[in-house]
């Protein structure tokens, strides 16, 4: 079986790493992982897995058509798409039309991530709890909603409707600030909206208090199997200070000791995931793939902030590191449009991942610094290094080529163990100017 994984980062490295090994610890000979385009760090890791186990391949230009061309040329038995843009652009539909099996939602179902206004409408119809909102292209309508919140002394959040690579959300604890944000996003007084078509419409919603939680659900259109819950760390600096990032570290799976009892996951399945699947089915867009629910939990009650329609990064690296399960049969069944086979996605072991980011990330990541110490890092028992923004320089050294460079994981019987292993591995890696949060998992460490 040849599996083509589309994408270039830590998430794709982790997917290849887990899928290649089935439920065990050594890469299997009956399957080959091809990551396109992948990166030079991944390619070096793959070379150590033994012949025919995994490799990187260039991704042809042409967006969705390039993916179809490569899947054909590689005679891929299954395609898994990491990032959201090709899913929203219809890569799954194009592969299906070419008779190639692909794990992921159709463009119609991927709108759940591609349009926040669509997502809010689906949730409202399905009776799923989330922040009160208005979706509009008109400043006066947004202003009416904001004025009500100002009178009530509440904060709001302004979101561009479409995909903005994580830059389309502005949290406004002081609601009056939101009017200017709305005007800026819609492009009032300018030729075009701030994010082009992605911000012709905005969603303005209530600012919810609480702690965030990420829940992954493997969905076959009707039913779902949930992974354990994970927690990302979005801000650049310790104690949740500094600018927002793509994620500086994650821990999972969380359990009752960390405020996530099994009953909460069951509630998320019954009251969030299954109603959304039913609503999408009713709209003729059954969701087959990985549904990522971004939740805000306050007083034990989860509310939906957003959905992603693919594995999230870096939560995926943590959850896959904690798991000894062969995911491939379930992914194939979902891709075929069959019902989910029983699959145990909960694990007792814990995992933590810590991101090494380039100097200057996220605004202006500095490229080219040499990366040293990867082999020493992987000698730490239970540690695993996933490569994200890594290239090879002309002299053959691995070097920084991106914002988030490495995602360094540790697995253990407790978060204490997992975090110790991850940080011991981090401390063996040398990258000039690298930024690392030192407090990943602090809130779960002792528990």
Ligand X SMILES: Nc1ncnc2c1ncn2[C@@H]1O[C@H](COP(=O)(O)OP(=O)(O)O)[C@@H](O)[C@H]1O
- Interior CA angle at 440 toward 438 and 441, to 5°? 135
**Interacting residues with Mg ion between 287 and 306 (CB under 5 A):** 294
Query: Is the CB of 135 or the CB of 429 nearer to ligand X?
Result: 135
- The reply to whether 171 sits near ligand X by the rule CB under 6 A is yes
Task: Check residue 132 for interaction with ligand X (CB under 6 A).
Answer: no
Q: What single DSSP character describes residue 257?
A: G
Taking the least distance from each CB to ligand X, the nearer of 52 and 166 is 166
Q: Does 207 bind ligand X (CB under 6 A)?
A: yes
45 binds ligand X (CB under 6 A): no
CB of 447 to ligand X, least distance (A): 23
Residue 407 CA to residue 379 CA, distance in Å, equals 16
The whole-angstrom distance between residue 127's C-alpha and the CA centroid of its chain comes to 25
Strands (E), 129-240: 133-136, 156-160, 169-172, 202-206, 211-220, 224-226, 229-232, 235-237
| Closest to ligand X by CB, 221 or 249 | 249
Strands 241-244 and 235-237: antiparallel
- In whole angstroms, give the CA distance from residue 70 to residue 68: 5
Tell me the chain's radius of gyration from C-alpha atoms: 21
DSSP 320-368: HHT-----HHHHHHHHTTPPPPP-----SSEEEEEEEE-TTTTTSPPP-
The residue from 150, 154, 169, 332 that contacts ligand X (CB under 6 A) is 169
- Binding residue for ligand X, selected from 205, 220, 313, 317, defined by CB under 6 A: 205
Can residue 131 be called a binding residue for ligand X (CB under 6 A)? yes
Angle 180-184-190 from CA coordinates, rounded to 5°: 130
Stretch of 114-122, 196-204, 286-294, 350-358 contacting Mg ion, by CB under 5 A = 286-294
**Binding-site size, ligand X (CB under 6 A):** 17
Q: Which stretch binds ligand X (CB under 6 A): 142-150, 200-208, 216-224, 391-399?
A: 200-208
Q: Which residue is nearest to ligand X (CB)?
A: 306
Comparing CB distances to Mg ion, the nearer of 21 and 234 is: 234
36 binds ligand X (CB under 6 A): no
# residues contacting Mg ion (CB under 5 A): 1
Of residues 146-165, those binding ligand X (CB under 6 A): 157, 159
Contact yes or no for 246/84 (Cβ under 8 A): no
Cβ proximity to ligand X, 307 vs 415, nearer residue:
307
Report yes or no: 99 and 110 within 8 Å, Cβ to Cβ: no
Q: What SS3 state is found at 314?
A: coil
Which phi and psi (to 5°) does residue 41 adopt?
-70, -45
Does 306 engage in binding with ligand X (CB under 6 A)? yes
Q: Which of 37, 242, 294, 373 binds ligand X (CB under 6 A)?
A: 294
CA distances from 19 to 15, 78, 107, 314, 419 (A): 6, 12, 25, 17, 24
Go through the chain and tell me how many residues it has: 447
What does 110 interact with, of Mg ion, ligand X, none (CB < 5 to 8 A by kind)?
Answer: none
Select 206 or 420, whichever has its Cβ closest to ligand X.
Answer: 206
Task: Name which of 309 and 419 has its Cβ closer to ligand X.
Answer: 309
Q: Closest separation between CB of residue 156 and ligand X, Å?
A: 8
Q: Taking the complex as a whole, how short is the minimal distance between the CB of residue 306 and ligand X, in angstroms?
A: 4
The residues, ordered by sequence, that sit 6+ positions from 285 with a Cβ below 8 Å of its Cβ are 106, 108, 109, 111
Query: Which CB, 163 or 369, lies closer to Mg ion?
Result: 163
Chain residues in the site for ligand X (CB under 6 A)? 131, 157, 159, 166, 168-169, 171, 205-208, 212, 234, 294, 296, 305-306
């Amino acid at each position: 079986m040849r599996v083509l994984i589309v994408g270039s980062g830590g998430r794709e490295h982790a997917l290849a790493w887990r899928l290649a090994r089935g439920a065990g610890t050594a890469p299997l000979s009956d399957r080959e992982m091809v990551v396109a385009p992948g990166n030079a760090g991944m390619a070096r890791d793959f070379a150590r897995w033994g012949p025919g186990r995994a490799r990187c391949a260039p991704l042809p230009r042409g967006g969705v058509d390039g993916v179809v061309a490569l899947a054909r040329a590689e005679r891929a038995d299954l395609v898994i798409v990491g990032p959201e843009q090709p899913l929203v652009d219809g890569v799954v539909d194009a592969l299906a039309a070419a008779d190639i099996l692909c794990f992921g939602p159709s463009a119609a179902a991927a709108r759940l991530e591609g349009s926040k206004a669509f997502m809010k409408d689906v949730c409202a119809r399905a009776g799923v709890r989330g922040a009160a909102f208005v979706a509009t292209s008109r400043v006066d309508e947004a202003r009416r909603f904001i004025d009500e919140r100002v009178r009530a002394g509440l904060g709001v959040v302004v979101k561009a409707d479409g995909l903005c690579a994580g830059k389309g959300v502005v949290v406004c604890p002081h609601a009056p600030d939101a009017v200017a944000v709305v005007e800026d996003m819609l492009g009032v007084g300018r030729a075009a909206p701030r994010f082009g078509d992605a911000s012709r419409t905005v969603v303005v919603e209530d600012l919810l208090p609480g702690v965030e939680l990420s829940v992954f659900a493997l969905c076959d259109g009707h039913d779902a199997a949930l992974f354990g819950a994970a927690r990302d760390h979005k801000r650049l600096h310790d104690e949740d200070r500094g600018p927002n990032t793509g994620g500086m570290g994650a821990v999972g799976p969380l359990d009752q000791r960390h405020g996530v009892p099994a009953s909460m996951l069951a509630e998320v399945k019954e009251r969030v995931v299954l109603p959304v699947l039913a609503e999408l089915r009713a709209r003729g867009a059954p969701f087959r793939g990985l549904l990522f629910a971004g939740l805000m939990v306050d007083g034990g009650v989860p509310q939906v902030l957003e959905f992603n329609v693919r594995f999230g990064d870096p939560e995926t690296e943590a959850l896959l590191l904690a798991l000894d399960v062969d995911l491939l049969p379930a992914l194939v069944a979902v891709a075929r449009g069959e019902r989910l086979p029983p699959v145990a996605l909960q694990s007792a072991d814990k995992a933590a991942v810590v991101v090494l980011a380039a100097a200057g990330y996220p605004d202006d990541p500095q490229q080219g610094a040499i990366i040293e110490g990867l082999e020493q890092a992987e000698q730490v028992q239970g540690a695993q290094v996933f490569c994200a923004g890594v290239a090879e320089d002309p002299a053959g050294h691995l070097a920084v080529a991106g914002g988030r460079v490495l995602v360094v994981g540790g697995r253990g019987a407790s978060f204490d163990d997992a975090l110790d292993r991850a940080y011991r591995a981090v401390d063996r890696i040398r990258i000039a100017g690298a930024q690392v949060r030192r407090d990943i998992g602090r809130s779960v460490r002792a528990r």
